[in-house]
Amino acid sequence: MWHIWLLVLLSLSVVASGRQVGRCSLARRLYRYGVPYNELPDWMCLVEGESSFDTKAINPSNADGSVDWGLFQINDRYWCKPADGRPSSDLCRLPCRLLLSDDIRYSIACAKYIRKQQGFSAWVAWNNRCQGVKPNVNHCFRRLHRNSG
């Protein structure tokens, strides 16, 4: 009987790990994909507030009928193409389902485009939560080993 519970727990942890992005992993990926180091605390605060680092987050409850997708909760009225054919400006030129991928390059590229067009104020969570103290990411970039030699 214990082996069934172990199997259930293992399968749940695989599902959960496929959805959550680690804080330092996200900070390093953002930096790798061209986000300036000094903006990383804003991005980390924004993602925490919008999706709690969940790549599969979906918010279908916007008053205008639009849906927010993925880590950055990118809205399908303006930025991505919904699969159901609802009208969209699709300014990021990608299907919304790509914003739910664990390969977050698409989400990062679209979020950077939104930031360039409208600034961080395009995100409700950034406006509500990120005006004061923001997460520190310095520890994410320290070398974990010393040079030997």
CA pair distance 57, 50, nearest whole angstrom: 9
50 is catalytic: yes
Question: Is 103 a residue of the active site?
Answer: no
Q: Which of 68, 76, 90, 102 is catalytic?
A: 68
State how beta strands 68-69 and 74-75 pair.
antiparallel
Instruction: Please tell me which residue in 48, 50, 84, 90 is annotated as part of the active site.
Output: 50
Annotated active-site positions, please? 50, 68
